[in-house]
Structures are given as structure tokens and as C-alpha cells.
Structure 1
């Protein structure tokens, strides 16, 4: 049964990736059609066409290599300035032939009646919208998935109800050695602030330091307690009544709550209560906060990719240990999707929440990666459009002639280098995902 659910999980996550790709391309397609740009193809995947159907002027299909997708718009590149009799530039250079071939390919589907439906003929802001719409669709999907997890399924965390009250103040190091608070207080150990204030198990903390505390705001309550010191007003709900108490928060050595600092300790405010744990649905503000944290963390991870290549190479070809934060590809994340569903004895909320959160993280990655100013990524068309807008507005302000479209084909040498590097990196990641995969459950 474990093998069955592993296969099912891999298949479902793989379908989720294809949907994410198609959703991305839908952003380009819808805005291109909105601005009157002709779109001959809408494809998920690369290589040989497995299935396709034509509706109107567009062919929709799935290709054999599911590592991306594309929407083919006519006239992505403007004609070369100063063309010769054969439509090729009179300029020479090592990459000139490649640029001329790319321009010819861009003009391949342009019929005389479609001359005014080319991508490059649209104003810069329209081109920016068309190219940004794809990554933005991934961001929308990521927000929707996180909202489903946090506001619908709920997340396992501490609540605001007191499960137990510690009797005495014991440093975290002593608790860690015994893996639990001691059954009896050491000689001379003072009572905890919570016990001294009269807080009892079963109380629900509804306000701290004069600020109301929502039932699903347990982590925030923990942070507020740890950031406080000295006498603090606290309101608890007990037996349907609210009691106003005063608790004298003290400094103590406590376990660090940051997952990245597991096993470390910090000095922080100490109350002496153990909060209940359960699944709590969060609000829209917490969804926005989580998405912001994910975007920041993913952007940081992208900048660290070059530094992680040596370790990834070692994991793929030298048998070295694979780090938990190692870059993963389609194979790796799909395998983890199967690993999630194959767990036994785990609440469905955990499995579904982790499954959807991983798919949301993939969409955050697609959002950020596609904004890099490198062709053939979407940012490789956004940057030339921004530069063209700046040049045109500057010329207009100075009373000079329109400088014309920016020749985005000049970025193609960078595109070829990027594609070669990306293919090599993707191959290395795929090998590592197969022979030495990341295992989130040990």
C-alpha cells in the first residue's frame, strides 16, 4: 500500500506541476489576445507533440518533455535595422547569424494581414503586461494554495489555551537533558510567574499586555511573552468568565523557536505555561505574511544556487550527503509528493497541508525565476521593453525623433549561454534527485 500511495502522490504532484505551467502560459495567452497579438501555439512541454487540438487560430497541445511550456506569439523580435536584400542585417559579428536566424524565425508566421498583430509592435507597457502576466499567474496560484492550507485546512501550532502550568523556574538546558520538565522542583527553584499569578490549566489567554489575543494566535502570543519583561496585565477566560491578572514575566534560558536554530537556546521572557496544540485556521493577514516570507526565502535561495553547485555535484556524482536545502527539480519534488502521501498514521491535515504548500512553493519559484532579466525567461523581454520606454520618453521630452524599438535580439548570446548552463544544471539536479534524493522524513 505504501508503494501504491507513493506512485499516486508522484502522479498527483506531477499533474499539479503541469497545471502550474499551463496556468503560467494562460497569463501570457490571455493578455496577448487582449492586446490583439496573434498566438499560433499554446503548448505545455517541449519536443515532439503528443496531443493537440486547434481552436480558431491557436493550436493547443501537450509535448513529450514536461519541463516547461510556451505560448508562441508572432513577431516577438523587431526586424533588424538596416536589412539587406535577403532580410538579414548588414552588420557582421560572431553572433550576427544567430540573431538574424532568430529574427527570421520570429517573422515566420507573419502574414501580410497580420503585420499589425505582432508582439513587437505593441507599446512597451503592453509588452510588459503580457510578459509579467505569466509569472503573476504563478503568484496568484501560490496565494490561493497557501490560503487553502492556512484558512481552509488549518495549520498545526500552539493555541492560546493553557495545557499545563509549570511549578518552578528551570533553565531550558535542564529540561533538555530530561526531555521534559522535572517531576519535582529542584531545591531553591522559585515558582513560575504563571503559578504565582494564579493561572490554571484550562484557562484561555484572551489578552496580554493590554492587547487582545485571538484563539488562533498562539505563535504570536509566544513571541509577545518572550519579548516582555516585568509585571504584565493578562486576561484569561475561565468557566465562561474573564479574569484580569498580573504576571511578573522573568528572563530565562529557553529553547530557540526558530526552526533554523534547532537545539540552540536564547534568553527571553518566561511565563511558565505549556500551551495546547491543534489545527487552527488562520486569517488573510497571516496568508499574506506567509507568502511574503516564502518569497523572501525563495529569493535568497535563488541567489545561493551558484554557491551550492559544488555540494550538489558531490551529492550527484561523488556519493556525498545531500543537504536538506539542496536544489531540486521536477523529479525531486514529484518524489517528495509521493513520500508525503505514503506516510502512515499521519493526520490528513498534515499530508494535505504539506502537499499543497510544496506546490505553492514551486509556484513562488516559477514567479521569481521567470522575472530574471535573462532571455529566454520572461524578464528577458520585460527589461528591453522598460529600456525602450525610457528611451522613447526621454526622446519625447527632449524633442528628439522616436529612437524606435529596442533590438532584443542582441540579448540572444546571453540566452544561448544561459540555456547551456541551465541544461547542465538541470541534468545534475535530475541525477542527484534519482541517485541521492532529498528526504524530508529521514
Structure 2
């Protein structure tokens, strides 16, 4: 009888350890590495060697813990079978099977998941601290298994060849997935996520995608006078003007407004601009904008001339163009603010993409629900699932919308036409 009680006590102890280690595994599986890192940054006292190891390589922690759960589960199975056969020789095996099945499903799978599915990061921190002694005992036993699994993982990842550093970098899709996780878990605000996404896309953008095309370049002939250069700068509100010889395809330099102001003397407007010409930086239109930004910083320049494969001028790009790829449109202090809403007639309006959505709701006389958009551009992109092209037209919630201006990242201007008759005050849900 004493041995019987001892078996029951051992089974109970093994069951407790089984639930505990399974909960640790569940917490590791459910927790987000981003959330754990953010939590550690807020409170370094929560850090532990095992937690840092989880962030570095989960497999090194999971293999010993999983081995421990199997040891406890097998021990429970052996003792339960022995106990059942001792008490009920005729049908003890079937009873033992049912008990072990119940323990495996309930205490090994379901209960640990229920215990760790809410706030898994907080629970992971608490559980890992208590499981560290068990981990240290099991680590030596699990070492051969860990080594074999690591070998198989390396062979699976790269076929046994050395890891290519370029291939080991996170892809754009992986980074987007991380950003989505960060937003879903409340770690990143939508604006922060958009900024990071802009930085990621910035690394893959070429000069020809952001430059002002050749046909829109405002330049000045090298034989022009200081007065003529001043007039061009004032008229077009440009602080940097390319200087060309003969035609725009032969740019020889750039004139800066600060040099013009330094050399401008009233009454001497007819002086030549030769001394104002600064050597131009020529770059291929296929150059990555990240590399161009670094080069401009090193040279102390603010503008570069993009050339095509034949050596002709393809366009012009400034530091402002590059920065706008990251942070969006930058309006100079002397630029008049463009009206957000222009009423063409009683049924037609032109809106900027950055117009707050409530302005459109006031115009349309209805609420647009079922989305998280704060601007008109956000509503359009959420409805279409992409950034529309200029000239694209579609109907939404009884409105006819025409995209007037857009680039590859955002809607800039659009026209909204109201129906002849529209119900006032109704709410529209986005499907």
C-alpha cells in the first residue's frame, strides 16, 4: 500500500512538472520576439540568461524543455500502466491507455495553451526564471539531440553550403510581416510603420523613380547675366538652377541662390554668371537613391544630374526629393498652402489625397465605416487594395472618383463627383 501511495505521489509530481514545462513551451511559441524586446527595454530587471537565449535561438531552449516533457510523460505512462494492472489485471491496459490519452491531450496540450495564450510575454518571463534549474539539468542530456537537429537545420537551410550574407538578410516581405505584427500587437503605431516601410522601400528605389524629368528641368544658359539668373530663380522659386551650354543636354554646372546673393550688387545685374557656376554631380539614372544620398552628404552638394545610358541628361534630383521618399512631401515655407478641397460645382470636388476623411464625409453627407483610414487617399487605397494610377476611375458608395495625380506610393489629387440625389446621414460600410 505504501508503494501504491508513492506511485500516486510521483505521478502527481510528474503531472505538475509536465504542465509547467508544457506551459513554458506554449509561452515561447505564443510570445512575439518584438514584444519581448520592447518589454526588456522598458524593464531590464526582467532579463534572464534563459530569456536572452530564447531571443537568440529558441531551438536551444525548446529541445531540452521538450525532452523534459517527454521524460515526465513517459514516467507517467509507465507508472499509470503499472498501477492499473496492479489494481485491475483484466482491463488495466485499456484504462491506462485512456488515462494517458486524457493526460496527453488535456494536460500536455490544451491546458498549457489556455494558460499562456493571453499576455504570453509576461508569463514567459515569470516561467523562464523558475524553469532555469530544470533547463540546466536537461541541457546535457539534450546536447546530442540538439547537435543533430542543428546539423539538419543547417543542411536544410543552405544544402550544406556556406551561408550567403546577402541571402540571409530579411526580404521585403519578411520586413512587412514584422511591421504587420508590430502594428497588430500595438508595438508600432501606423505612422511609425509607414515610416519604416518608406525607409525599407528607399533602399530599393532608383534615381529615375524620384528625379524631375528632363522636360521639366528649369535651367539657365551659361552666357546669361546675374540679373537673368535672379529673374529665373524668383519666377520659378528654385534655389538651385542647372547651367547649360547650348541646350539642356549639355549641363556644365549648378548655380546656388546663396552664391547669387553673395555676389549680387545692385546696378551690376549684367555681370556674367561664370563665377557662380558650381561643378555638377552626374550620376546614372539607375543609381540607388540610398547611395546617392550618401554621396551628396560626402560632397556637401544638394543636387545631382541624372544621365541615361547614352550619356544624355535624363533628369535632376535634389536632397529634398530623396527625403520626401521617406517622410512624404516637404513644403517650403514660401510655398502657399494648396487648398485641400476645391469645389468645381455643386456635384464635383477636387480633393488632395491628404485631406482628412471627415471633409469628404461632410461633402457626401454620409459616414464611411469599416476601415481605419484617416485620409481620403487612405480610404481609396483601402477600398482598391493598392495605389491607383493617374486617370483611373471607379465608383464607391455612390460616388464617382477619378484619380488626377498619384505616384507609386500615394494618391496626390482626385476628383469626387456626387450622385444626382443622395440620401443624407447614412453610413457606408466597406466590404
Bin the TM-score by the shorter chain: under 0.3
Structure possessing the higher relative contact order (Cα contacts under 8 Å, 6 or more residues apart): 1
Structure that is richer in helix per residue: 2
Q: TM-score, normalised by structure 2?
A: 0.26
**TM-score scaled to structure 1, two decimals?**
0.25
- Tell which structure's C-alpha radius of gyration is larger: 2
